[in-house]
Amino acid sequence: MRLSALVVVHNEEERLAACLDKLSFADEIVVVLDKCTDGSKAIASRFTDRLVEGSWDLEGPRRNTGIDACSGDWILEVDADEHAPADLGREIRALIDTTPHGYHILTVDNWVGERLVRYGWGASFGKAAYPGLFRKGAKRWGNERVHPKLTLTGSKGPALTHHIQHYVDRNISDMIRRFDAYTTARARDLRDSGNPGSAVNNVRRIFSRFWRCFVRAKGYREGGYGFLIAILAALYPYVSYLKAKHERE
């Protein structure tokens, strides 16, 4: 089976080389360059000639463009801030030759700076796992501005044993800036839908989302980091709602 590795980027010159260097186990690397004005193209060209340049307003269409550009039977989709270790690469190569399933889940090790924060992610703030390995045609992205919905076809296979290394935030300030960007993008989706929801429902969600991250996802095991992640995840819908109601671009 032929394997394509797909990386979609916007101005990632600081992190792109380290990501692409870990993908040599793939038969091809496809890099989508979205409105890049830095050195990302020159860096990507050192690793592959399969470059797709363009300008997209939404994450889903640019990722779907990358999927369409892949020639492999299977696609491994990673971000520029993620590294695929060699043992994961070997596991993927062995798996795609035998699996009957349409897609498999990748478990994520999330790093904040030099700290591995393994627990507490979820509820639209950080990912603990995702369907990153899939047959060509088995995965399509939706049109939402933040956390686009996925359409998956075929059966779900078991999660891979080895983990993707995700360098999600450089520090706590980075985490808070990401929260601000996510809620702003979500507010745009809410305004476009014409239904931003109600204050009461979004306040109720604060408690259930905090429980999901801090208790069910065991964020308490991470101490202060886990508490902060749970707080930001809990506030995400309410702050998005407030921005949709009271801010105009």
83-130 pLDDT tens trace = 999 999 999 999 999 999 999 999 999 999 999 999 999 877 888 999
Whole-angstrom distance, CA of residue 77 vs CA of residue 63: 9
Q: Which of 69, 59, 49 is nearest to 6 (CA)?
A: 69
20, 31 in Cβ contact below 8 A?
A: yes
Domain residue ranges in the chain: 3-169, 172-246
13-31 pLDDT tens trace = 999 999 999 999 999 999 9
Domain 3-169 in CATH 3.90.550.10? The answer is yes
- The yes-or-no verdict on residue 160 having pLDDT over 80 is yes
Name the least confident of 114-118, 145-149, 237-241: 145-149
